[in-house]
Structure 1
Amino acid sequence: MATTEDEIKEQKAVAMTEEEEQLKVDMKEEVVTKEEKQNGKEEEVVKEDKEEEVKMEVEPSTGVKFPVKVSDGKQLDAMGVRKKRVTLLNVTVYGFGIYGDNDKLMELLKSKFDKAPEQPTKELYETVIDSDVGLMVRLVIVFPGLTMNMVRKNFDEVLGGVLKKLNGAPEDFEVAKRLMGEATDGIKLSSGSVIEITRLPGYTLQTKVKDEVISTVESELLCRAYFHLYLGEDPFDKNAKEKFGASLLSLF
């Protein structure tokens, strides 16, 4: 039976429609593939960002982890431990990381020194201690039986000793007692609890306990006294001080 002209036209139309539908399917698949690839790339970027965010360094004697960079841009320049003698034993109280605004530290040092000293010097450390450049010490509690009252008492004692060496006035000793603010044993400290003490512009020390700001004290002498504990002549951890000094030299 012969095929009429109308039937031929109809067959061509059907074939064209099928081709168009197939083309649409192919285009959709191509779009989906591109979207999947793009999403895959975005997931990789997010993964890389997260890995960068959580990049940590470990303080070897305590196993405490410290981020190499904190949210405000300060960088980890040294790590160490604070030990205290208790009944003939040296007890590790906390691990600590010293963070600095390294760009500002570099500007400070280059304005004070023509060239880098061969070794970290007393003058180098004192330049940083006496300055207003941003520094932060992050303390991560290791000793499980620590209380806020014990922390406050310890800081009152050690800061009092440094203030005495710096010829502090009686009112400076009262200011030092405000470093731990109104924090009481109501704030529970367990192994892994974090305390951050930061030097802010205007010679201001801000104390955070478990992400809660408990005090903000403006005192140039108190700022100097506090960082003497870590960078002065009789630091809590000499190795940490030396590492910080090496970090300063690398900024030149």
Structure 2
Amino acid sequence: MDDRRPCEVETGCGPCGEIYLQNLAWSRNAVEPRTGIQFPTMLDNIITGENTSFTPEVLVGTGSRTMTIIRIKSLKLYAFGFYVHPSDVCEKLGPKYACIPEYELNKRQDFYQDLLREDINMTVRLVVSCNGIKINTVRDAFEKSLRARLMRTNPDADHHCLHTFGSIFSQDIPLHEGTTINFHRTADGKLITEVGGNQLGAVQSKDLCRAFFDMYIGDVPVCEQTKEEIGKNVASIVSTC
């Protein structure tokens, strides 16, 4: 019988995850190895709708997405960085997981599910790594994956949120090499989309938020290696709570 009790962790504290932040302080950027694209280790002044958070989100994983053109050649479409808010992680996950060793924590599927389920500010930043990608190509790719994941995570979800999300990409925005696209989930369940630093729109839907980030840390992620990296680094944050 497992008689372990929840860890005693103070919630809502300012210095939560401070050790992890200090470990990042030596470097301003991290490099995604396959594309060579740099990502800031911290995202400052995250737009959250009406307000701006001045507490940085921290980078916990990077990866890239490629498309096979012919059998022997692949096209690097974009690199991505995954960010979380460390104090949110401590507040929401610390009481349950802070006593569990890091090497065990990142292998537990309930840990990833709680990371998706809880109201934690997080961001996926994409950086386009080639020219010629169309904004509607980005929309179509995400809509297809999101529809399938919405059905799996919550069959009763209101799929109107997908239409609203797709309408954000109606503008003919050029996506050149180096263009940044941010998808930010707020703690109150809003998915905010920015392209090149400009906010395009927001969708209020916790189901959509969960389905979107499920692409990166859920079942059948975009990159399994990156999911493991994210798990290890979030577990490292939890250990400092």
d(CA) in 2 for partners of 1:234 and 1:176?
A: 20
Please give the residue correspondences for 1:174-185 in structure 2 after superposition, counting only pairs within 5 Å: 174-184=160-170
For residue 177 of structure 1, give the secondary structure of its aligned residue in structure 2: helix
Residue 67 of structure 1: aligned partner: 40
Q: % of aligned pairs identical?
A: 28
Question: Which of 103, 116, 122 is the aligned partner of 2:100?
Answer: 116
Report how far residue 54 of structure 1 moved.
8.3
Please give the residue correspondences for 1:41-190 in structure 2 after superposition, counting only pairs within 5 Å: 55-72=28-45, 73-86=56-69, 88=71, 90-113=74-97, 115-117=99-101, 118-120=104-106, 121-169=108-156, 171-172=158-159, 174-184=160-170, 186-190=172-176
d(CA) in 1 for partners of 2:209 and 2:157?
A: 16
| CA spacing shift, 1:247–1:114, aligned 2, 3 Å | closer
- Is 2:83–2:123's contact at 8 Å kept on the other side of the alignment? yes
For residue 127 of structure 2, give the secondary structure of its aligned residue in structure 1: strand
Superposition TM-score, scaled by structure 2 size? 0.76
Question: Which 5+ residue runs of structure 1 have no aligned equivalent?
Answer: 1-51
Question: Which 5+ residue runs of structure 2 have no aligned equivalent?
Answer: 1-24, 46-55
d(CA) in 2 for partners of 1:53 and 1:143?
A: 30
> Which amino acid letter does the alignment assign opposite residue 140 of structure 2?
K
d(CA) in 1 for partners of 2:112 and 2:154?
A: 19
- Is 2:181–2:194's contact at 8 Å kept on the other side of the alignment? yes
Report how far residue 163 of structure 1 moved.
1.1
- Is 2:97–2:105's contact at 8 Å kept on the other side of the alignment? no
d(CA) in 1 for partners of 2:100 and 2:212?
A: 25
Moved over 6 A (4+): none
d(CA) in 1 for partners of 2:220 and 2:66?
A: 13
For residue 158 of structure 2, give the secondary structure of its aligned residue in structure 1: helix
- Is 2:136–2:170's contact at 8 Å kept on the other side of the alignment? yes
Report how far residue 166 of structure 1 moved.
1.9
- Is 2:157–2:207's contact at 8 Å kept on the other side of the alignment? no
- Is 2:143–2:166's contact at 8 Å kept on the other side of the alignment? no
User: Is 1:249 matched with 2:235?
Assistant: yes
Kindly indicate which of the two structures has a greater share of residues assigned to helix: 1
| CA spacing shift, 1:185–1:142, aligned 2, 3 Å | farther
- Is 1:178–1:215's contact at 8 Å kept on the other side of the alignment? no
Report how many aligned residue pairs link the two structures. 200
Residue 233 of structure 1: aligned partner: 219
Residue 41 of structure 1: aligned partner: none
- Is 1:180–1:214's contact at 8 Å kept on the other side of the alignment? no
Question: Can you list the C-alpha shifts for 1:48-72, whole angstroms capped at 9, x where unaligned?
Answer: xxxx798211101001100111113
d(CA) in 2 for partners of 1:195 and 1:186?
A: 14
- Is 1:147–1:185's contact at 8 Å kept on the other side of the alignment? no
Report how far residue 241 of structure 1 moved.
0.6
Question: Can you list the C-alpha shifts for 1:14-35, whole angstroms capped at 9, x where unaligned?
Answer: xxxxxxxxxxxxxxxxxxxxxx
RMSD between aligned residues:
2.1
Report how far residue 202 of structure 1 moved.
1.1
- After TM superposition, the structure 1 stretch with the greater mean CA deviation from structure 2, 115-124 or 153-162, is 115-124
Q: Using CA pairs below 8 Å that are at least 6 residues apart, which structure has the higher relative contact order?
A: 2
Superposition TM-score, scaled by structure 1 size? 0.73
- Is 2:191–2:203's contact at 8 Å kept on the other side of the alignment? yes
Question: Can you list the C-alpha shifts for 1:83-113, whole angstroms capped at 9, x where unaligned?
Answer: 3344555432210000110122022221223
For residue 244 of structure 1, give the secondary structure of its aligned residue in structure 2: helix
